[in-house]
Amino acid sequence: MPRPPQQVPSVSTVARAAGVSRQTVSNVLNAPHVVHPDTRARVEAVIREVGYRPNRVARSLRTRSTHLIGYCVGGDNPLLDRFLHAMSTAAGQRGYHLVLFTAPPGADGLPAYEDLLARNTVDGFVLSETTVGDRRPAWLASRGVPFVAFGRPWSSDPAVDVGSWVDVDGAAGTAAATRHLYDLGHRRIGFVGWPAGSGSGDDRLRGWREECARLGLGEQPAAHGENGIEHGAALATTLLTAPEPPTALVCVSDVMALGAQQAARAAGRAVALVGFDDSPLAALPGIDLTSVRQPVERIGRDVVRLLLDQLGDGPVTAHTAVPDAQAGTAPDAGPDDRTGPPPDTRPDTGPAPQRLLLEPTLVPRLSSTHPTKEQP
């Protein structure tokens, strides 16, 4: 027996059933205030009854807005799961979705960005893993493409300092780490860092140095090298074998801290350690690394928020919500942000860029509080 057509309902279907025109149905969804309460109620009833949901594609074609956000996924990124979940949740709550794409590893994948734009696939981008010579921000800004970066441009060149971004205040993190160690009684607090010129590395170095000065500790020892467990171990050994060795080390990353931990254990020394990033390995028993945690969830949320503000949709996109579909958890801290430098008011290069510097939080573990316990 041939079942009834069971067409997927369209705006025309609803209009016919409710005895109104297409446009009125559209208005009920997109501009409810212009339609009479009575008709609105009638149309909404029909919508619910037939389970109508507007076709995103047709809407996109007409409005020239896909409600999709492009995000380029590169190779390894241990925090990606948390970051994507946060962004996806924030976007979904306002009717947007993330679209993933890949770009060739070495070169900046500008062609991929251009392709998505030329084909009308996305409305804007979230950038991450921004590097020093990154051409993407300037390129996007010059074309008026909305975007928000996770990470500062790390350049004083005003031509590069364009667009909105959200970043973690690395200096504040290492400062907090230094203070933490000071409060535990340490007075010789060294630093294990990256080579100069790496943006975030310099930032974290500065936080440590400035906090040492603030605490009246004077000049403290530092050593620098590439990221890597073995390098961290070597650098820590250098520091620990010098005269007046530090009793505590602030490290520019968890990986470096892990190397320092191994060096200290091998040398039979009790050294208080703090890492940076709070990667999953920091929490492992037997490692128990005190670390500076990046508020990844909050970053993801804010990055999306800034982008959607640029895309200039009202705070809540008109879309018949699916009941209890997008709930999402937000295990982050409260409003602990700190706005960066005031938005410079240039002539009129689009909307004023927004910048957010978020405060990381120190997660204390045994490596700083009971360093001697670490040695089996």
Query: Which residues form the interface with a second copy (CB under 8 A)?
Result: 8, 51, 53-58, 60-61, 66, 68, 73-78, 80-82, 84-85, 88-89, 92, 97-105, 109, 111-112, 114-115, 118-121, 229-230, 258, 262, 265-266, 280-281, 284-286, 322-329, 376
41 touches DNA (CB under 7 A): no
Q: Which is nearer to DNA, 107 or 322 (CB)?
A: 322
The option from DNA, a second copy, none interacting with 227 (CB < 5 to 8 A, set by class) reads: none
Q: For residue 137, how far is the Cα from the chain centroid?
A: 16
* Cβ distance to DNA smaller for residue 47 or 249: 47
Which residue, 47 or 255, is less far from DNA as judged by CB?
47
d(CA 372, CA 106): 43
Three-state DSSP class for residue 142: helix
Q: Distance between CA atoms of 195 and 143, rounded to whole angstroms?
A: 35
Q: Is 207 in the site for DNA (CB under 7 A)?
A: no
Residue 30 partner contact from a second copy, DNA, none using kind-dependent CB cut-offs of 5 to 8 Å = DNA
- Nearest approach in angstroms of CB 210 to a second copy is 32
Please state the closest distance from residue 328 (CB atom) to a second copy, in A.
6
Q: Does 23 bind DNA (CB under 7 A)?
A: yes
Q: How far is the CB of 86 from a second copy (least distance, A)?
A: 9
Query: In the block, which residue shows the tokens 């620990």?
Result: 240
Alpha helices (H) along the chain: 11-18, 22-30, 37-50, 56-63, 80-92, 110-118, 136-142, 170-183, 200-214, 229-241, 254-267, 296-310, 366-369
Q: Which of 226, 79, 253, 254 is nearest to 150 (CA)?
A: 79
Identify whether the C-beta of residue 188 lies closer than 8 Å to the C-beta of residue 244. Answer: yes
Report, in Å, the least distance between residue 81 CB and a second copy.
Answer: 4
Q: Which is nearer to a second copy, 242 or 283 (CB)?
A: 283
Does 8 help bind DNA (rule: CB under 7 A)?
Answer: yes
Long-range pairs for 18-27: beta carbons < 8 A, 24 or more residues apart:
18/42, 18/43, 18/45, 18/46
**Closer residue to DNA (CB): 67 or 293:** 67
Instruction: Give the binding range for DNA (CB under 7 A) out of 4-12, 70-78, 245-253, 366-374.
Output: 4-12
Closer residue to DNA in complex, CB, 30/227: 30
CA–CA separation, 370 and 255 (whole Å):
20
**Interface with DNA, residue 339, by CB under 7 A:** no
CA distance 14 to 21: 9
Interaction partner, residue 10 (DNA, a second copy, none; CB < 5-8 Å by kind)? DNA
282 phi/psi in degrees, rounded to 5: -65, -30
Q: How many residues does the chain have?
A: 376
Q: Give min distance, CB of 177 to a second copy, in A.
A: 22
Question: Which SS3 state, helix, strand or coil, does residue 361 take?
Answer: strand
Instruction: From the list DNA, a second copy, none, pick the one residue 266 interacts with, judged by a Cβ distance below 5 to 8 Å according to partner type.
Output: a second copy
From 244, 198, 240, 241, select the one nearest 219 (Cα to Cα).
Answer: 244
Per DSSP, 1 falls in state -
Minimal distance in Å, beta carbon 8 to a second copy? Answer: 7
Q: Answer with the entry of DNA, a second copy, none that 23 interacts with (C-beta below 5 to 8 A by kind).
A: DNA
In terms of phi and psi (left: phi > 0; alpha: psi -120 to 50; beta: otherwise), the region of 350 is: left
- What is the rounded end-to-end Cα distance, in angstroms, of the chain? 76
* 45 near DNA, rule: CB under 7 A: no
- Please report how close the Cβ of residue 343 comes to a second copy at its closest, in angstroms: 28
339 binds, among DNA, a second copy, none (CB under 5 to 8 A by kind): none
Going residue by residue from 51 to 80, which x/- string records binding to DNA, judged by CB under 7 A?
-x-xx--xx-xxxx----------------
Sign of CA dihedral 183, 206, 277, 339: positive
Q: Copy the structure tokens of residue 372.
A: 């001697």
Nearest to 93 by CA among 303, 319, 331: 319
Residues that bind DNA in the complex, under the rule CB under 7 A: 8, 10-12, 19-24, 26-27, 29-30, 34-36, 38-40, 52, 54-55, 58-59, 61-64
